[in-house]
A and B are shown apart, each in its own frame.
Chain A
Amino acid sequence: MIGQPYLIDVDWGDLVQAVITAVISFAVLLVSVMLMVWFERKVVSRLQNRIGPNQAGPFGLLQTLFDGTKLFFKEDLIPAEADRFVFKLAPYLALVPAFLMFTIIPVAGDFSNGHDGSVMVGGEKMFFQVIDPPVGILFFLAMSALGVYGIMLAGWSSGSKYPLIGSVRASAQVISYEAALGLALASVLLVTGTLSTNGIVQAQSGGFTSWALVTTGFVPFVIFVIAGTAELNRPPFDLVEAEQEIVGGFHTEYSSIRFALFFLAEFMNVVTMSAIFVTLFLGGPAPAWDFPWIDLPLPGALMGFIWFFGKLLIFLFMFVWFRATLPRLRYDQLMDLGWKVLIPLALGWLLVLAGIRVAQDNNIGLADTAFGDTLIILVIGLAGLAAGAGLLAAAIKNARNEASAVALPTSGIVGMED
């Protein structure tokens, strides 16, 4: 798959196959979004001591379907002040990247014992992902960067105050957290040594200890989850649609099917981002450990899907749990966390990992064993990281003192201490 020229010669069989896989995965994604909306409403209800949807279908499972159908038949309003073309375009700009992002995820396949996750269908090697581009995971970064256009342009084109405020917040937030997201991602790439999502999963297929979660030292995972949540505009980073301040944020003026499209894109992004977490840090469909004592009569590909789905559920639940538990950050807290904590930490950790990698590759011989070398480099790296953190903290404190000396020379300042 990797490095195969896919625009030079068109094989019609390949083309048909590509269209079919794309349609199937889109359908699967739509159903999973439907279930995710139900799941979120159910779990949030339980966490808030309510029951949640329980009328439509068994356990209220069809509630989302009914709500969606209702939205389709509602009147479609366009504000008089709106920029009509951009207003109509924006929901699709949100939806298309949300779907495209999902296409690079390996959702199933047998990765145990060094298998590459492929299955033979009619004599052809097939993978359980729509595309495996050579640049792989960078495609995710590109699509997540494009996703913000839907939100920005929706808010701007509404020709109304609150949506515009929501848009400006959204763009500031995405610019701030994209850097931390990319740096945490770079740590994973450094350890796995490949950009292809299939390759990343293969590199983590040696059981629990080979997961990037462990091999990158846990810190990039935490940074990635925080930055990913901010990228999704999910609570506690949902300033973009903070109901108490700016009505509905960017989608205040949207109704009917266009609103439904935004809703769909948002939940699609939740599912996809969880799948990205699983792929990058938890080894995707690769099993956490082998079952030598149970010989399940299931094909390996199906076992891969079960592993993937189980890991996915952890993060889907995490997002709902965040929403039910954490209060929304204030705007300045959001910016401080992104610029002064996450980006420096991600950058420093990447340097430490790179140092360890160089030490392992070049056999520097500080200690008797390779493990000793790694340990020494790790200690030096962590010391450097701590020194950098101290310097940064001192610089921030100094800047604050100077600023407060200029602005308010006499009166006491409330709330300057964190």
Chain B
Amino acid sequence: MIDVIVFAISALIIIGGAIGVIALPNPVHAALSLIATFFGVAVLFVQQEAHFLALVQVVVYAGAIVVLFLFVIMLLGVDRAQELGVEPLAGQRAAGVAVGAVLLALVVGGLFLSGDPDRGGAVALTGQSGQVVPTVEGEQDVIQLARDLFTRHLLTFEATGILLTVATVGAVVLVRARGAEDLILDEPGTAQH
């Protein structure tokens, strides 16, 4: 019973937040709605006893990524309400609606139309059957997750690390190559009098 109540409340928060992200004209309000959605998802993770995932959801998404969004919004001064009547790219909206509809049809179709009602949907969408590993009694989810991550998925883990490092270094190189002159003027004591 309590499960259902918790799920219903967090589902309402998640959906409300998701609608807010796309419907609110002010980008800061949209970012706030996004935080509400992340929190709803975190609560659902806690309900599934995935405490670590819930915390990571809050630390990484709500605590770092949305802070970065807001930082950019404030720094660039794009926090005024956007004019939604003008379409910057002709035909963009129609194409967006079409692609969205196709994706939705694909997911819903995959879930409901394939043979086995229990796990057929997952097979139809990803090509392989999902597997639910039972949690070991008395062992924390962090330990299980870490063991899985650093044994079975070690290669993926390392590859992701390299990818992120490359992206960071790339960003720094791009900025320095293009804006070295701007950068030096930001340093104190070098302002040209």
Q: Give the B-binding residues of A (Cβ under 8 A).
A: 2-3, 5, 7-10, 83, 86, 133-135, 138-139, 141-142, 145-146, 148-149, 152-153, 156, 164, 167-168, 171-172, 174-175, 178, 195, 330, 332, 399, 402-404, 406-408, 413-416
Which stretch from B14-22, B100-108, B147-155, B181-189 is at the chain A interface?
B181-189
Please give me the residue from chain A that is nearest to B67 by CB atom: A171
Q: What 0/1 pattern do residues 48 to 74 of B give for CB contact below 8 A with A?
A: 010110111011001110011011001
Which residues of A sit under 8 angstroms from B190, Cβ to Cβ? 407-408, 413-416
17 new A-B pairs (CB below 8 Å) besides A146-B58, A167-B74? A2-B140, A8-B2, A134-B140, A135-B55, A135-B142, A145-B64, A152-B67, A152-B71, A153-B28, A164-B74, A330-B188, A332-B187, A402-B180, A403-B184, A406-B184, A407-B180, A407-B190
Q: In whole angstroms, what is the CA distance A330 to B70 when docked?
A: 23
Check if A145 sits within 8 Å of B49, measured CB to CB.
no
Q: How far is the CB of A130 from chain B (nearest CB, A)?
A: 16
In the complex, whether B6 has a CB less than 8 A from a CB of chain A is: yes
A141 and B59 within 8 A (CB): yes
Q: Is B13 an interface residue (CB 8 A)?
A: no
Q: Are B71 and A415 in contact (CB under 8 A)?
A: no
Q: B171 contacts the other chain (Cβ, under 8 Å)?
A: no
For B3, give its contact among A2, A8, A404, A407 (CB under 8 Å): A8
List 21 interface pairs A-B (beta carbons < 8 Å), by A numbering.
A8-B2, A83-B28, A134-B51, A135-B51, A135-B142, A141-B55, A142-B63, A145-B64, A153-B28, A171-B74, A172-B71, A178-B63, A195-B140, A332-B187, A407-B180, A407-B181, A407-B190, A413-B189, A413-B190, A416-B189, A416-B190
Interface string of B23-61 (1 = CB under 8 A from A): 000101100100100000000001101011011101100
Q: How far is the CB of A211 from chain B (nearest CB, A)?
A: 24
The 9 tightest CB contacts between A and B, nearest first, are: A415-B189, A145-B63, A407-B184, A142-B58, A171-B71, A138-B55, A406-B180, A135-B51, A414-B189
**Set A146, A164, A195, A415: member contacting B188, Cβ < 8 A:** A415
Residues on A with C-beta less than 8 A from B47 are 7
Contact residues in B for A178 (Cβ distance below 8 Å) = 63-64
Closest to B48 in A: A7
Q: How far is the CB of B136 from the nearest CB of chain A, in Å?
A: 10
Q: Complex: how many Å from CA A174 to CA B29?
A: 21
CA of A221 to CA of B146, assembled, Å: 25
- With A and B bound together, what is the CA distance between A406 and B117 in angstroms? 65
Chain B residues within 8 Å of A, Cβ to Cβ: 2-3, 6, 26, 28-29, 32, 35, 46-47, 49, 51-52, 54-56, 58-59, 62-64, 67-68, 70-71, 74-75, 79, 138-142, 176, 180-181, 183-190
A408 touches B184 (CB 8 A): yes
Compute how far the CA of A407 lies from the CA of B184 in the bound complex, rounded to whole angstroms.
7
Known: A134-B141, A403-B180, A404-B184. A145 touches B67 (CB 8 A): yes
Residue from B74, B139, B176 within 8 A of A168 (CB atoms): B74
Q: State how many angstroms separate the Cβ of A228 from the closest Cβ of chain B.
A: 16
A174 to B71, CA, bound (A): 11
Question: Of the candidates B63, B138, B142, B181, which one forms a contact with A406 in the assembled complex, judged by CB atoms under 8 Å apart?
Answer: B181
Which of B52, B58, B63 has the most CB atoms of chain A within a 10 A radius of its CB? B63
Given A174, A403, A414, A415, which contacts B67 in the complex, CB threshold below 8 Å?
A174
**Chain B: minimal CB distance from A143 (Å):** 9
Say whether, besides A168-B71, A403-B183, A407-B184, A7 and B59 are in contact (CB < 8 Å).
no
By a CB distance below 8 angstroms, the chain A residues around B3 are 7-8
What separation, in Å, do the CA atoms of A178 and B68 have in the docked complex? 13
The answer on a CB contact under 8 Å between A195 and B63 is no
B183/A148 in contact, CB under 8 A: no
A416–B32 alpha-carbon span in the complex (Å):
41
Give, as a whole number of angstroms, the nearest-CB distance from A20 to chain B.
Answer: 20
Report the separation of the CA atoms of residues A308 and B123 in the bound assembly, to the nearest whole angstrom: 55
B138 contacts which of A3, A142, A332, A416 (Cβ < 8 Å)?
A: A3
- A2 / chain B contacts, CB cutoff of 8 Å: 140
The residue from A10, A142, A152 contacting B74, defined by CB atoms under 8 A apart: A152
Are the CB atoms of A148 and B52 closer together than 8 Å?
no
Cα–Cα distance between A332 and B190 once the two chains are bound (Å): 13
Tell me, in angstroms, the Cα distance from A81 to B2 when the chains sit together: 44
- Residues of chain A with a CB closer than 8 A to B189's CB: 413-416
Which residues of B lie under 8 Å from residue A172 when comparing CB positions?
71
The residues of B that contact A171 with a CB separation of less than 8 Å are 67, 70-71, 74
What residues of B have a CB within 8 angstroms of the CB of A141 in the complex? 55, 59, 63
Q: Which residues of A contact B138 (CB under 8 A)?
A: 3
With a cutoff of 8 Å between Cβ atoms, the chain B residues found around residue A142 in the complex are 55, 58-59, 62-63
Most buried by B among A8, A10, A135: A135
Task: Tell me the minimal C-beta distance from A80 to chain B in angstroms.
Answer: 16
Q: How far is the CA of A172 from the CA of B67 in the complex (A)?
A: 9
B168 to chain A, nearest CB (A): 12
* Bound: A406/B179 CA distance, A: 10
| Residue numbers in A under 8 Å from B56 (CB-CB) | 138
Give bound CA distance, A152 to B56, whole Å: 21
- Min C-beta distance of A75 to chain B, whole Å: 27
Tell me the bound Cα distance from A403 to B184 in angstroms: 6
A9 — which chain B residues lie within 8 A by C-beta?
A: 2
